[in-house]
């Protein structure tokens, strides 16, 4: 018997609706729609168009109804930290700010005058990034933002979209854990952190865990889509949490890399790791499924390549041809720190890379081939740097790396990673986020009982590609050069 599920997977640059089908113990996927998620730049800020995303979900559901497919449930996952503000009448007060908006630059340092930095980390265990939700809300309050002043409810992006579908306001655990407001011990928002900026816990929706039912499609949405009273499930609303749920392994001794616009690299543990060392190295503890913690570091990922590719007017259209050209140029000629603030959102990523190399007295990478190689080698070496940090804090050895997400198809980068880390790399599944989303809906239906059974479905459904380490001496020498440059 086939069972069908509807997944919404929203990234910072594009979104998709996916039909997941559980058939004979395997998970099949069909992409129904794909659409851009455009940043709106207006009046000095960067916004998300929440209603446009809502309408894309409606169109995907209309397609399901048109094809006469009976879906068991709906689940939504998105990027982290961003929130939408709603008034007492339930209306969206304005388009949500994007985490890319520069209005939070310097916000952390100002907030730490209210609550010391060490205390914030002691409570949350979250990596310090200026766009964390806590610092976004602090900035809005400091700027006397009219939407926040009128807000009755604050909802994270996946919860806001679920609200538009169901009329139910919730705060899902994994997405809340990205905010720098949650205490992982209590799994609730810390009053100590939000009270200094005039925000109360009851301004957020009721707490839900991954796998709980949020509500059912409203009569309005049923009429718009042609569907019935379909439940909307709180999957792991943070896309990385959903992705980690779909790693095809039963052995916990691994390190993962969720590779997309951002790289999220870490381990899965039962308890948060919050100590002086994790504070010093700025690691984060985010919520996973079944009470697990994702101990990780956020790293600038394919954002560098994506931005440069838009500027490479003379580059080959196909990735294979581009990669082939990049392989011909001198290795390790120029290296960058992918997490340098200059790469956050520059007007020109190509010029930012050139400027970085100029400032660090390196050869300037000219042309797409040299710049592409610079990006990929630098990313692989940054992953090695983070792995060395993890080795000092992990409660278990990391015998291999699982690369999941869109970056798992990048065979050049995957081989570079294996070479840099000197451990095997298993690449795939590419669609881990959507698969994790669907698996949690499957669990909500009672078709599997725990994460082991969920991952067993993925193991039967996927065949990750394996990359073995090569050129150990060459990459070790490059790593020492990289450390000299970035430090």
Active-site residue set:
239
Where is 84: in which H helix or E strand?
strand 83-86
Residue whose pair of structure tokens reads 């939000």 in the numeric block: 194
Task: Tell me if residue 309 falls in helix, strand or coil.
Answer: helix
Q: Are 390 and 267 in contact (CB under 8 A)?
A: yes
- The answer, yes or no, to whether the previous bond of 199 is cis (omega within 30 of 0) is no
Residue whose pair of structure tokens reads 């896309």 in the numeric block: 239
Q: Are 388 and 348 in contact (CB under 8 A)?
A: no
Task: Tell me if residue 267 falls in helix, strand or coil.
Answer: strand
User: What single-letter DSSP state applies at residue 270?
Assistant: S
Residue 212: beta bridge partners?
234
CB atoms within 10 A of CB 48: 25
DSSP character string of 335-364: ---TT-GGGSS-S-HHHHHHHHHHHTT---
Where is 401: in which H helix or E strand?
strand 401-404
CA atoms within 13 A on the CB side of 424: 8
């Amino acid at each position: 018997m086939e069972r069908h599920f509807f997944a919404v997977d929203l990234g910072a640059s594009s979104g998709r609706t996916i039909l997941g089908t559980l058939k004979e113990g395997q998970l099949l996927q069909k992409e129904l729609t794909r659409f851009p998620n455009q940043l709106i730049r207006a009046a000095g800020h960067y916004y998300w168009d929440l209603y446009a995303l809502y309408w894309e979900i409606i169109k995907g559901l209309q397609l399901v109804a048109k094809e006469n497919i009976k879906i068991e449930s709906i689940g939504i996952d998105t990027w982290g930290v961003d929130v939408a503000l709603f008034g007492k009448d339930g209306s969206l007060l304005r388009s949500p700010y994007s985490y890319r908006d520069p209005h939070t630059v310097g916000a952390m340092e100002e907030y730490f005058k209210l609550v010391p930095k060490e205390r914030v980390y002691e409570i949350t265990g979250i990596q310090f990034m200026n766009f964390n939700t806590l610092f976004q809300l602090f900035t809005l309050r400091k700027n006397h933002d009219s939407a926040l002043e009128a807000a009755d409810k604050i909802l994270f992006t996946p919860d806001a979209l679920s609200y538009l579908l169901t009329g139910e306001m919730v705060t899902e655990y994994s997405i809340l854990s990205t905010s720098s407001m949650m205490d992982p011990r209590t799994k609730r928002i810390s009053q100590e952190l939000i009270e200094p900026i005039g925000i109360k816990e009851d301004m957020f929706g009721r707490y839900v865990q991954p796998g709980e039912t949020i509500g059912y499609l409203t009569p309005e949405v049923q009429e718009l889509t042609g569907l019935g009273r379909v439940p909307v499930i709180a999957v792991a609303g943070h896309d990385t949490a959903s992705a980690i749920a779909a790693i095809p392994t039963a052995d916990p001794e691994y390190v993962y890399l969720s590779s997309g616009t951002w790289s999220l690299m870490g381990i899965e543990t039962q308890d948060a790791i919050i100590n002086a060392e994790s504070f010093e190295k700025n690691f984060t503890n985010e919520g996973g499924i079944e009470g697990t913690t994702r101990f990780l570091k956020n790293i600038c990922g394919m954002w560098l390549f994506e931005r440069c590719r838009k500027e490479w007017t003379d580059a080959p259209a196909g990735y294979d041809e581009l990669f082939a050209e990049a392989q011909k140029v001198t290795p390790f000629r120029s290296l960058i720190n992918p997490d340098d603030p200059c790469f956050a959102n520059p007007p020109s990523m190509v010029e930012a890379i050139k400027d970085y190399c100029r400032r660090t007295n390196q050869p300037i990478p000219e042309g797409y081939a040299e710049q592409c190689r610079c990006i990929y080698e630098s990313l692989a070496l940054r992953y090695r740097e983070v792995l060395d940090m993890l080795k000092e804090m992990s409660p278990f050895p990391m015998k291999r790396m699982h690369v999941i997400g869109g970056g798992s198809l990048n065979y050049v980068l995957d081989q570079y990673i294996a070479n840099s880390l000197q451990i095997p790399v298993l690449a795939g599944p590419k669609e881990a986020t959507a698969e994790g989303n669907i698996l949690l809906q499957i669990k909500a239906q009672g078709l599997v009982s725990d994460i082991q059974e969920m991952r067993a479905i993925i193991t039967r459904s996927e065949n990750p590609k394996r990359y073995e380490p090569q050129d150990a001496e060459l990459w070790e020498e490059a790593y020492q050069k990289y450390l000299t440059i970035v430090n």
